[in-house]
Structure 1
Amino acid sequence: MELKDIQNLIKFVARSGANEVKLEMEDIKITIKTGEGKTETTILQHAAPLSMATAPIAQAPVEVAAPAAPAPAAADEDSKYLTITSPMIGTFYRKPSPDKPLFVEVGDTVQADSVVCVIEAMKLFNEIESEVSGKIVKILVEDSTPVEFGQPLFLVDPS
């Protein structure tokens, strides 16, 4: 892969709105991360191909965004709560069906084994039960959005 191709790839990713793109080929790995006007590119070349072995490799300047400082007050406040997490990857739903009421809302009290939401995975709707008892303090996921394994869904005040 030539430098011109890499530069075109960086421009394309920046315009596409993607947050991160990884490209792996036999002899090269490229990771392009974008966000808020900054682009970070990492290029790892295992073995230079014969056509590039004699050509000098120029590197474009790389800007690295500093990690945002976490809000300590919010972290301390949320640490006293228990978290209900997603046991699977899928789509999060707060209702059993569009015409039914929500499973839980902020302020509702749940018991261990209370159904709090459903997650659709591979056309199956899986009821997710609370593993803790307490009051729902915060709903961390919007209805009908994808969730990952272990992603926090609800905060529960056990007191």
Structure 2
Amino acid sequence: MLTVQEIRELIKVVDESAIDEFTYETSGETVTMKKSGSKAVAAVPDNGAHTDHPVDPVKNSQPNIQVEQTEVSSSDEKPIVETTADFDHEIVSPMVGTFYASPNPESDSYVTVGSKVEKDTVVCIVEAMKLFNEIEAETTGEITEILVEDGELVEYGQPLFRVKKK
């Protein structure tokens, strides 16, 4: 099984190369990467696992790469819907994965609309390939909007929260 870092490295190599499409298959798992315009797009399977054991976040993400996670057999893309809410900052997903609003299914959400956050406040978990990455606010302010639902697949760079800075 490829790790998140290995997938990121593959995306970077494909993005910087003249290759338009790349497929890697092993042990019944398939990772397919295709360039869409000037950006690499990856499709990886999601097993839907969610446990109560988050791990440290992966913070160094690649700029200029848009990654989409779908079932390997699906090619549907979700558009990112922009609204005109009052906000100064968007907290975006640093990776492709599954968004979880709480540390486990029985717990309350990390944040809700109106929650005050600091730079190191954990706002959610993004699960990618069985790694649970805590996402921090990285700004001080108040959550004005939650843009994704619990259990929803999110893309690299997709806005998750909007924050009014203090």
TM-score, normalised via structure 2 length = 0.49
CA shift at 1:149, angstroms? 0.3
Query: Residue 95 of structure 2 aligns with which residue?
Result: 88
Alignment counterpart, residue 116 of structure 1, candidates 123, 141, 152: 123
Give every structure 1 segment of 4 or more consecutive aligned residues whose post-TM-superposition deviation is greater than 2 Å: none
Report the 3-state secondary structure (helix = DSSP H, G, I; strand = E; otherwise coil) of the residue aligned with 1:153.
strand
CA shift at 1:99, angstroms? 1.1
Report the 3-state secondary structure (helix = DSSP H, G, I; strand = E; otherwise coil) of the residue aligned with 1:92.
strand
Name the structure where helix makes up a greater proportion of residues. Answer: 1
Query: Residue 153 of structure 1 aligns with which residue?
Result: 160
Query: Residue 9 of structure 1 aligns with which residue?
Result: none
Relative contact order, higher structure (CA 8 A, sep 6+)? 2
Task: Measure the CA separation in 2 of the matches of 1:151 and 1:109.
Answer: 21
Task: Measure the CA separation in 2 of the matches of 1:121 and 1:127.
Answer: 11
CA shift at 1:84, angstroms? 0.3
The residue type paired with residue 117 of structure 1 is: C
The residue type paired with residue 162 of structure 2 is: L
CA shift at 1:116, angstroms? 0.2
Query: Residue 106 of structure 1 aligns with which residue?
Result: 113
CA shift at 1:113, angstroms? 1.1
Query: Residue 48 of structure 2 aligns with which residue?
Result: none
Task: Measure the CA separation in 1 of the matches of 2:106 and 2:149.
Answer: 18
Query: Residue 10 of structure 1 aligns with which residue?
Result: none
Task: Measure the CA separation in 2 of the matches of 1:93 and 1:143.
Answer: 5
Task: Measure the CA separation in 2 of the matches of 1:81 and 1:141.
Answer: 18
CA shift at 1:132, angstroms? 0.6
Structure number, greater radius of gyration? 1
TM-score, normalised via structure 1 length = 0.51
Unpaired segments ≥5 residues, structure 2: 1-20, 22-80
Indicate the percent of aligned positions where both proteins have the same amino acid.
53
Report the 3-state secondary structure (helix = DSSP H, G, I; strand = E; otherwise coil) of the residue aligned with 2:91.
strand
Report the 3-state secondary structure (helix = DSSP H, G, I; strand = E; otherwise coil) of the residue aligned with 2:150.
coil
The residue type paired with residue 104 of structure 2 is: S
Alignment counterpart, residue 135 of structure 1, candidates 129, 133, 142: 142
Map 1:67-82 to 2 at 5 A.
Answer: 74-75=83-84, 77-78=85-86, 80-82=87-89
